[in-house]
A = this chain, B = another copy of it.
Amino acid sequence: MTTDFATAPRRLENMDDLVSLCARRGFIFPSSEIYGGINGFWDYGPLGVELKQNLKACWWQRMVRERDDVVGLDSSIICHPRTWEASGHTEHFSDPMVDCRACKKRFRADQLDDIGSCSAREGSSEHDLTEPRNFNLMLRTSIGASEDAASLAYLRAETCQPIFNDFKRVRETARQKIPFGIAQIGKAFRNEINPRNFTFRSREFEQAEMEFFCHPREREKWFSHWLEERLCFHRELGLDDEYLRTRRHEEGELAHYAKQAVDVEYRFPFGWQEIEGIHDRGDWDLRRHSEYSGKDLGVTDPETKEHFFPMVVETSVGVDRTCLAVLCHAYTVETFEGGDERTVMRFHPALAPLKAAVLPLSKKLAQPARKLHLELRRHWNVFYDESGNIGRRYRRQDEVGTPFCLTYDFDSEDDRKVTVRHRDSMSQHRIAIDAVVDYLREQLENSG
């Protein structure tokens, strides 16, 4: 079946269109909206939470459950403050900031283009900037009954440091030998001065990180393996090559601990930006935590008896950033002959918040349609909608990216079939009600 478009389908060009769809359909909206929001914090609504869960589940399945050599972890957000001394964060994790003596605002010294957005610009005062000073990006809190220095603690700035803390315990309890990896998904916090680009740069965000520990002579091999593997992952989620690239960090750009680093970048409407980093962290972290804790985090080769610190190859996904890339990539507007438009979110079926929608053609058919809905819901997140004309209901599902609509009509009672409508092609065909579970299972499982 061919569809007659008046013009080529349009992709997302203006982020405002996506921000608006996300708020309107309950994917993502500002945290604490009723209080005017809080800069750099976002809430995932009923559809957003499913999309994000699906993305995390794909990552976990691929990175942990399908591998013998990677195990999972879920560590606390607040850990011992010595962790961040050992990692170098208390000393180095800062941005250079300048204050404006005239407007009293603070800006990143390396992003002075932001200064254009400052309201003082419109007034009479001209900026009068101080010399840059370092401003630590970790969020601090205190725990325990008193608020002295002993009770100071940090919200983790990255999920990988607790992995290093737990390296020995996990290796021993999981009976792993190097090479092997430890993976975790969880929240991290950074006091970004200028949160921007929707959820791209926020103060509270989720990471999916994996630290892979290997012998020094194998680090190059594993770095290449993981870079290839991670690119594959993003491609399989539907981000195609035209929108995906790698960018190798140059010498001067590398973090103090890094031996080499490659970013996986997605072409957002606001430019090419990192959604994942693959880093060769060397033995920096294990060496430092050994030094600061007094515990030996080295390993001994059972054959050569050589004792050494494993090298670490890290893969670090920004979960919110990848969600945002997936949302940007899915967004499509089609214009038909006659001028009608539809907005369709072309999510990969594995990521789609709703896998199917059951739509009775008339409210009179609600009872049997609900029966089908009940059965499907045991397996997948399936929506039921009986309100409005069928065309409008299709459009509602297109706009939230539901891959399959199942329409129960007046013939269904007789032929025991429903109409399956495909989101992207809008093609329709009838299948037996008894075969719907198997049909969806095949479509959803083989879509990867």
A interface residues, Cβ below 8 angstroms from B: 23-26, 29, 31-46, 48-50, 52, 65-66, 68, 71-80, 82-83, 97, 106, 135, 139-146, 153, 155, 162, 165-166, 168-170, 173-174, 184, 187, 189, 191, 193, 203-204, 289, 292-293, 295, 297, 377-378, 381, 384
Which 5 A/B pairs are nearest by Cβ-Cβ distance?
A26-B173, A32-B80, A46-B71, A35-B80, A34-B293
The listed residue with most B CB atoms (<10 A of its CB), out of A68, A141, A142, is A141
Query: Least Cβ distance of A64 to chain B in Å?
Result: 8
- Docked pose: A381 CA to B60 CA in angstroms: 11
List B contacts of A155 (CB < 8 A): 141, 155
Closest Cβ neighbor of A194 among chain B residues: B145
SS class of chain A's interface: helix, strand, loop or mixed?
mixed
Question: Closest approach, in angstroms, between the C-beta of A445 and any C-beta of chain B?
Answer: 9
Which residue on B lies nearest to A173, using beta carbons?
Answer: B26
A170 touches B45 (CB 8 A): yes
Please state if A141 and B143 are interface contacts (CB–CB under 8 Å): no
User: Nearest CB to that of A382 among chain B residues?
Assistant: B65
In the complex, what residues of B have CB within 8 A of residue A166's CB?
29, 33, 43, 45
Is B33 a contact partner of A143 (Cβ separation < 8 A)? no
**Minimum C-beta distance from A119 to chain B (A):** 15
B97, A74: Cβ atoms closer than 8 Å: no
13 residue pairs bridging A and B, Cβ less than 8 Å apart: A25-B173, A29-B166, A29-B169, A32-B83, A37-B80, A43-B75, A46-B73, A66-B378, A77-B77, A106-B146, A139-B142, A143-B203, A187-B187
Q: A65-B381, A78-B41, A80-B38 are in contact. Are A169 and B33 (CB under 8 A)?
A: yes
> Which chain B residues lie closer than 8 Å to A204 at the CB level?
76-78
Given A79-B31, A141-B140, decide whether A174 and B45 contact each other with a Cβ distance below 8 A: yes
Residues on B with C-beta less than 8 A from A46 are 71-73, 170, 173-174
- Give which listed residue, B36, B73, B142, B289, contacts A44 with CB less than 8 A: B73
B76 touches A153 (CB 8 A): no
| Residues in B whose Cβ lies below 8 Å from that of A75 | 31, 43-44
Assess the B68–A384 pair: CB atoms within 8 A.
yes
What residues of B have a CB within 8 angstroms of the CB of A165 in the complex? 31-35
A31 and B381: CB pair below 8 A?
A: no
List, in ascending order, chain B residues with CB within 8 A of A45's CB: 71, 73, 166, 169-170, 173-174
Q: What is the distance, in angstroms, from A16's C-beta to the closest C-beta of chain B? A: 17
Q: Are the CB atoms of A377 and B76 closer together than 8 Å?
A: no
Given contacts A106-B146, A139-B141, A378-B66, contact A36 B80 (CB under 8 A): yes
Q: Which residues of B contact A32 (CB under 8 A)?
A: 79-80, 82-83, 162, 165
Among residues of B, the one whose C-beta sits closest to the C-beta of A381 is: B65
Seed contacts A31-B165, A46-B174; 19 additional CB < 8 Å A-B pairs: A24-B173, A31-B78, A32-B80, A33-B169, A34-B165, A34-B289, A35-B82, A40-B143, A41-B78, A45-B71, A45-B166, A46-B71, A46-B72, A50-B72, A78-B204, A140-B141, A140-B142, A143-B203, A187-B187
Q: Complex formed: what's the CA distance from A184 to B32 in Å? A: 15
